[in-house]
Amino acid sequence: MPNPEQRARVYHLLVESETLCQQLKAQIHTLEDLDRLAREHSLCPSARVGGDIGIFGPGKMAAAFDEVVFNQEIGQIHGPVKTAYGYHLIWIARRR
Protein backbone atom coordinates (compact mmCIF):
# COMPACT_ATOMS: atom_id res chain seq x y z
CA MET A 1 0.00 0.00 0.00
CA PRO A 2 1.39 3.42 -0.92
CA ASN A 3 2.32 5.92 1.71
CA PRO A 4 -0.75 8.19 2.24
CA GLU A 5 1.60 11.19 2.19
CA GLN A 6 2.94 10.27 -1.24
CA ARG A 7 2.02 12.48 -4.22
CA ALA A 8 2.33 11.99 -7.97
CA ARG A 9 2.17 14.30 -10.99
CA VAL A 10 0.30 12.45 -13.72
CA TYR A 11 -0.79 12.82 -17.33
CA HIS A 12 -3.20 10.44 -19.01
CA LEU A 13 -5.32 9.68 -22.02
CA LEU A 14 -8.74 8.00 -21.86
CA VAL A 15 -10.47 6.16 -24.71
CA GLU A 16 -13.39 3.73 -25.00
CA SER A 17 -11.63 0.76 -26.61
CA GLU A 18 -8.62 -1.30 -25.66
CA THR A 19 -7.69 -1.59 -29.35
CA LEU A 20 -7.48 2.19 -29.81
CA CYS A 21 -5.60 2.45 -26.53
CA GLN A 22 -2.98 -0.04 -27.76
CA GLN A 23 -2.69 1.79 -31.10
CA LEU A 24 -2.10 5.12 -29.36
CA LYS A 25 0.36 3.59 -26.90
CA ALA A 26 2.55 2.51 -29.83
CA GLN A 27 2.83 6.20 -30.81
CA ILE A 28 3.87 7.52 -27.41
CA HIS A 29 7.58 7.81 -26.71
CA THR A 30 7.67 11.16 -24.91
CA LEU A 31 5.40 13.26 -22.75
CA GLU A 32 4.98 15.58 -25.75
CA ASP A 33 3.56 12.65 -27.76
CA LEU A 34 1.05 11.97 -24.98
CA ASP A 35 0.11 15.66 -24.81
CA ARG A 36 -0.64 15.75 -28.55
CA LEU A 37 -2.56 12.47 -28.64
CA ALA A 38 -4.56 13.32 -25.50
CA ARG A 39 -5.68 16.58 -27.12
CA GLU A 40 -6.75 14.65 -30.25
CA HIS A 41 -8.29 11.48 -28.76
CA SER A 42 -8.91 11.58 -25.01
CA LEU A 43 -12.48 11.53 -23.69
CA CYS A 44 -11.43 13.08 -20.37
CA PRO A 45 -11.90 16.83 -19.79
CA SER A 46 -8.13 16.91 -19.16
CA ALA A 47 -7.68 16.47 -22.94
CA ARG A 48 -7.78 20.25 -23.37
CA VAL A 49 -4.61 20.51 -21.25
CA GLY A 50 -2.80 17.58 -22.83
CA GLY A 51 -3.98 14.99 -20.33
CA ASP A 52 -2.54 16.79 -17.30
CA ILE A 53 -4.52 15.68 -14.24
CA GLY A 54 -2.18 17.36 -11.81
CA ILE A 55 -0.81 16.20 -8.49
CA PHE A 56 -2.71 13.84 -6.21
CA GLY A 57 -2.27 11.23 -3.51
CA PRO A 58 -3.40 7.63 -3.12
CA GLY A 59 -7.12 6.96 -3.03
CA LYS A 60 -8.15 9.85 -5.27
CA MET A 61 -8.46 7.78 -8.46
CA ALA A 62 -9.85 4.37 -9.39
CA ALA A 63 -7.97 1.51 -7.70
CA ALA A 64 -6.46 0.19 -10.96
CA PHE A 65 -5.28 3.72 -11.83
CA ASP A 66 -3.74 4.23 -8.37
CA GLU A 67 -2.00 0.85 -8.58
CA VAL A 68 -0.08 2.01 -11.66
CA VAL A 69 0.59 5.56 -10.47
CA PHE A 70 2.06 4.56 -7.12
CA ASN A 71 3.93 1.41 -8.16
CA GLN A 72 5.19 1.67 -11.72
CA GLU A 73 8.22 3.36 -13.24
CA ILE A 74 8.29 7.13 -13.64
CA GLY A 75 8.80 8.76 -17.05
CA GLN A 76 7.23 6.22 -19.37
CA ILE A 77 3.83 5.21 -20.68
CA HIS A 78 1.77 2.56 -18.85
CA GLY A 79 -1.41 0.82 -19.89
CA PRO A 80 -3.94 0.10 -21.10
CA VAL A 81 -5.44 0.36 -17.63
CA LYS A 82 -9.13 -0.48 -17.53
CA THR A 83 -11.48 1.40 -15.20
CA ALA A 84 -15.21 2.07 -15.22
CA TYR A 85 -14.47 5.11 -17.42
CA GLY A 86 -12.68 3.21 -20.19
CA TYR A 87 -9.04 2.49 -21.05
CA HIS A 88 -6.26 4.76 -19.83
CA LEU A 89 -2.68 5.36 -20.82
CA ILE A 90 -0.80 6.84 -17.87
CA TRP A 91 2.45 8.83 -17.70
CA ILE A 92 3.88 9.39 -14.22
CA ALA A 93 5.91 12.60 -14.46
CA ARG A 94 7.11 12.52 -10.84
CA ARG A 95 6.34 10.98 -7.50
CA ARG A 96 7.44 12.06 -4.02
Residue 2 clears pLDDT 80, i.e. is over it = no
Q: CB-based contacts of 13: which residues, under 8 Å, 6+ apart? A: 21, 24, 34, 37, 38, 41, 42, 44, 47, 51, 88, 89
Query: What CATH number has the domain bearing residue 49?
Result: 3.10.50.40
Give the structural domain span for 37: 8-95
Residue 2 placed within a domain: no
Residue 1 placed within a domain: no
Residue 28 placed within a domain: yes
pLDDT tier, 1 (very low <50, low <70, confident <90, very high otherwise)? low
Q: What pTM was estimated for this model as a whole? A: 0.94
Residue 24 placed within a domain: yes
Alpha helix (H) residue ranges in 5-78: 18-25, 31-41, 63-69
Q: How many domains does the chain divide into?
A: 1
pLDDT tier, 3 (very low <50, low <70, confident <90, very high otherwise)? confident
The Cα–Cα gap between 44 and 88 comes to 10
Residue 61 placed within a domain: yes
Q: Are 12 and 90 in contact (CB under 8 A)?
A: yes
Write the pLDDT tens digit of every residue in 52-68: 999 999 999 999 999 99
